[in-house]
Structures are given as structure tokens and as C-alpha cells.
Amino acid sequence: MRKGFCTALAFAALVSTSSLVQAQSLPQHEGQRKQASQAFESSDWQTVIDITGEVLKANPKDPLALHLRGSSQIEFGIAMTDAVMIRAGIADSREAITVAGQDAEFNYYLPYLYGMTSLANLEDQSTHAEVAIQIAGQLLSHPKITAEQKANTYYQRGLANSAMQDATAAVKDFRAAIALNPKHMASYLAIPDAYAAADQAEFAIAAYAEAIKAFPDEPLVHNNQGMYYQKIGRPNDALRSFTSAVQKNPQYFIAITNRGYTWLEGGKPAEAERDFTASLQVNANQPAVYGMRGTSRLVQGNWQAALEDYNMVLRVHPNDPIAHADAGFARFFGRDYAGALAEFNKVAEAGGSARFIDPWRVWTLVRLGRSAEAAGIALSSRQKSEKERDWIDHVILFHVGEISGDDLINRVDRTDAKIQTAQLCEARFFVAEHHLRRGKQQEAATAYQQALATGQKELSAFRGASYALQKFQ
């Protein structure tokens, strides 16, 4: 299942582009520049990139187009964890500064700083952050810098210091920004982030309280506080924070989604489904939320409704292996083995880490009476030596009769308690499935119950046992 998500204040919210539309460029592009600026304010990064791309084809030296495209590429690259796009944004931002020369808007420098810091975080390269800190220091010493510009630069340097894992320097910069601009919300939210990164929970909690005091009616602040509480294992506090965010703005679907995720993680799928539905009513364009709602429905025993949600994800992301896996498990639990196999095969086609699906593919083939095909998949596991085989190999070989159920359980990893419990859950479930196929109802029921006793609620094997015994959350 997909993880819940927390929004942070976007760079675009810090710097208005309204003052930039006056930058010198060809008059015939004025309309496109305004459209791009409006899309930028709405965080519609792809639209900005498309519009400014057309402008730059005709005039490669348009500073505003370069600035907007660079800023959008950086934001989009961060969202997609795409270092190549972030680098392209940095290059555009640097070119905007070069083209504008002495007339460069001060704000042209900010996306460059932000991009370098973001690249440092993504690539774990402190040298990028060091460059951002150096340039920010030069900007702060500029004699014509305004208070607002100085606050934004302190904020950017604070982010760079955070990337350098220097919480003390980062907080000092963020507080300098707040001293210049007491309503610099981004800095208020960055302070607890810096403390959190340094594992200083007490200071992070206090900083969130300070941010809420400064912005009591801002749902984003309450939402971010909730995300932190969720991260440190305080779900009840997280629920209260998300509820406060929704009370401030009933249309704030991000907090509604995050509250739903907290319910789901806490074993309250009905409450989670309610919140996911409410979030989708506000904004239906959320594939990830359909996926989470599908899971909340699945664990309640409604695999058909879950499948509808997973199919909604696949309409948007038809090649998403995780969505295909979700749909496959829903069909499997509903005893639609042919449909499950089709989905599992699509997962396998993705390669890489998709190998986790192979035990389920093999068992589904066996259930369909296609043992020869199952044996074909098992061939690579059979050809490995005992020392080369991992847990997936052992489960596959159990399915094709190479080892017994007792042998499978004996091969559970006993060196790590978490791994041991998870593997025991899978072993008990598949042993139960084999008993059931042979008509041994009582033995199957006992093994299914043993799988549930592991408490591994997030495992598909646990959910499969729940469906077999009709015991749902």
C-alpha cells in the first residue's frame, strides 16, 4: 500500500512572480508569459514548462521564461525525485541570471539556491549545499538587498544548512528570517524539520507549537504537525492535528487523506475509508488515495470495491506494478485466480524488485491446474544450491512439491525477529492453502489461524488468511 504524504510549503509560495512579468522580453510573448506566471502561482509545473518552452524556442534569452521554467523544473524534479530535471532547472535559473546581467531580479537567485539544496538532498552530496551556502552568504552581504529578500535568502541558506545536517546553523538562519519577516511561515515550519532531522523530538514538538501559535488558522501548519506526530509514533496526537487542520479548512483534502492514513495504520479501516472518500469528494484527481481506499476496503472484506479502486489507479498509471499487485491480490482473495494471475504476470514483467510476486504466481498457477508452467518458474530456484536460495526460493519450491511444509517452516530466518515473524506468517498461510487444496479443512483452518496469530496485518498472507476465515478488521 502507499504511504500517506505530508505537504511542505512550496518554493513558489515564497516568491510572487507578479513583479517579474515586467522583465524585458519580446512583446509578442507577453500573453504566454502571463499564462506561465499564473500556472506557476498554481503550482502547475508541467504547464509552465510547456508554455515557457515555446517562448524560449523563439527567444532563448528571455530571462523571465528561463526563470519560470527553471523554477518549475526544480519543483517538478523534487516531486518526481528526478535529479536530471532538477539539474535542468538549475541550468535555466543560472542562465536567467546571466542573461539579465546587472538587471537580474534578486528573486532569480532563489530557485538556483533551492535547486542546489534539493540536489544535495537527493544525491546525498554535501558539495551542492556548500555552494548554496556560499552564494547565499554573498547575497546577504549585498548592499541593496531588501528585508524581504534577506528573509528569503536566510530561509534558503537555512535549508542548505539542514542538508548539511547542521541543525544549529539551520535554525539560526530560519530565526533570522522570522526576525525580518514575522510571518515567514516557511521558516516556522522549517525549524521543526531541522530538529526532526537531528532526532531532537522535544525541540521539534516545541517548534511546531510555536508555529501554530504564529499561524493558528493555517491548516498547513496543523497538518505538518500531524505528520510529525505520526512519524514519531503518536497517532492520537496526529489525529487531533489533522482534525484541527480540517476544522480550519473543510476542503483541505491533504489533511483529510493523512488522517485517513493514520486511521488505516491504526487498524481502523472503516474510519480510514470514510476519510479517503471525503478527500476524493474534494479532489477526485488523487490516484494514490484511490489505492489507499482500496486497501481500507480490502481489509474489511470488500475485495470487489477494493478492486474498483485499484482499477482507478491503473487507469491513470496503467504500468504501475504495485497497482497491478494490489489488483491481483484482491482478485486472489476473491478466488478469481485467472484474473489474479493476469495481474501478477504484469507485475513480473516489471522486473527488478518485482520478484516478490513469484511465489504468488507459482501458487496461482498450481490452483489453476497449470503445474507445468509453475514448474517452469520454479526452475531457477531449483537450480540454485541450498546456500544460494533465499526465502522466495524456498516458498516457490514448496509450491511445486520440492520441500515439505515442515521444511518450509524450518527455513524461516531465526536471526531477525521481524523477518522471522513475517516469514512465519507467509509459511503458515501457504501451508494452509496446500491443506485446503487437498481437502484438509481442519488442518487448513488451524494454519490460517496461526498466520493471523503473527499479527502481520500489512502482509498479503495475513490478509489472505483473513479472507479464508472471514475474520476482518
Give per-residue pLDDT as tens, 72-115: 999 999 999 999 999 999 999 999 999 887 766 788 899 999 99
State whether 459 and 361 are in the same domain. Answer: yes
In degrees and rounded to multiples of 5, residue 146 shows phi and psi of: -85, 170
Instruction: Say whether pLDDT at 266 is over 80.
Output: yes
In a domain? residue 45: no
Q: Tens digit of pLDDT for each residue in 39-52?
A: 998 889 999 999 99
Task: Compute how many other C-beta atoms are within 10 angstroms of the C-beta atom of residue 454.
Answer: 21
Q: How confident is the model at residue 195 (pLDDT cuts 50, 70, 90)?
A: very high
State whether 444 and 400 are in the same domain. Answer: yes
User: In angstroms, rounded to a whole number, what is the distance separating the alpha carbons of residues 353 and 376?
Assistant: 20
User: Are 171 and 187 within 8 A, CB to CB?
Assistant: no
In a domain? residue 11: no
The residue among 268, 302, 333 that closes a domain is: 268
For the chain, counts of helices (H) and of strands (E): 25, 0
In a domain? residue 34: no
Check residue 16 and give its pLDDT: 36
DSSP state for residue 404 in the 8-state scheme: -
Task: Compute how many other C-beta atoms are within 10 angstroms of the C-beta atom of residue 145.
Answer: 15
Task: Specify the 3-state DSSP secondary structure of 87.
Answer: helix
In a domain? residue 313: yes
Check residue 391 and give its pLDDT: 98
State whether 345 and 359 are in the same domain. Answer: no
Q: Where is mean pLDDT largest: 24-28, 39-43, 385-389?
A: 385-389
User: In angstroms, rounded to a whole number, what is the distance separating the alpha carbons of residues 217 and 182?
Assistant: 16
**Single pTM value for the model:** 0.85
Instruction: Identify the CATH number of the domain in which residue 228 sits.
Output: 1.25.40.10
Dihedral sign computed on CA atoms, order 151, 153, 154, 158: positive
Check residue 462 and give its pLDDT: 98
Task: Specify the 3-state DSSP secondary structure of 372.
Answer: helix
In a domain? residue 381: yes
Check residue 4 and give its pLDDT: 32
State whether 444 and 389 are in the same domain. Answer: yes
Cβ partners under 8 Å of residue 225, min gap 6 = 192, 208, 211, 212, 241
User: Are 311 and 294 within 8 A, CB to CB?
Assistant: no
- Please state, in angstroms and as integers, the Cα–Cα distance from residue 438 to each residue in 112, 378, 432, 433, 442, following that order: 65, 21, 10, 9, 11
Q: Tens digit of pLDDT for each residue in 367-378?
A: 999 999 999 999
Q: In 387-453, which ranges are continuous DSSP H helix? A: 391-399, 405-410, 417-437, 441-453
Task: Specify the 3-state DSSP secondary structure of 140.
Answer: helix
- Of 27-36, 293-302, 396-405, least confident by mean pLDDT is 27-36
Task: Specify the 3-state DSSP secondary structure of 321.
Answer: helix
In a domain? residue 463: yes
State whether 257 and 336 are in the same domain. Answer: no
User: Are 435 and 406 within 8 A, CB to CB?
Assistant: no
State whether 372 and 322 are in the same domain. Answer: no
In a domain? residue 433: yes
Of all residues in the chain, what percent carry a pLDDT higher than 90? 87
Q: How confident is the model at residue 14 (pLDDT cuts 50, 70, 90)?
A: very low
State whether 463 and 360 are in the same domain. Answer: yes
CA angle 309, 310, 316 (to 5 degrees): 100
Which grid coordinates belong to 397? 519450491
Check residue 353 and give its pLDDT: 82
State whether 243 and 339 are in the same domain. Answer: no
Average pLDDT of the chain, as a whole number: 92
- Average pLDDT on 158-184 reads 97
- Average pLDDT on 213-237 reads 98
DSSP state for residue 402 in the 8-state scheme: S
> Of 323, 263, 327, 322, whose CA–CA distance to 296 is shortest?
263
In degrees and rounded to multiples of 5, residue 402 shows phi and psi of: -75, -30
Q: Tens digit of pLDDT for each residue in 295-330?
A: 999 999 999 999 999 999 999 999 999 999 999 999
Check residue 18 and give its pLDDT: 36
233: domain range?
A: 216-268
Q: How confident is the model at residue 141 (pLDDT cuts 50, 70, 90)?
A: very high
The residue among 350, 369, 395 that closes a domain is: 350
The residue among 350, 368, 401 that closes a domain is: 350
Check residue 22 and give its pLDDT: 41
Instruction: Say whether pLDDT at 179 is over 70.
Output: yes
Check residue 21 and give its pLDDT: 38
Check residue 47 and give its pLDDT: 94
Number of domains in the chain: 3
State whether 304 and 381 are in the same domain. Answer: no
State whether 376 and 448 are in the same domain. Answer: yes
Q: How confident is the model at residue 292 (pLDDT cuts 50, 70, 90)?
A: very high
Check residue 25 and give its pLDDT: 62
In a domain? residue 7: no
Which helix (H) or strand (E) segment holds residue 295: the answer is helix 287-298
DSSP state for residue 7 in the 8-state scheme: -
State whether 465 and 363 are in the same domain. Answer: yes
Which residue is it, cell 526532526?
196
State whether 320 and 423 are in the same domain. Answer: no
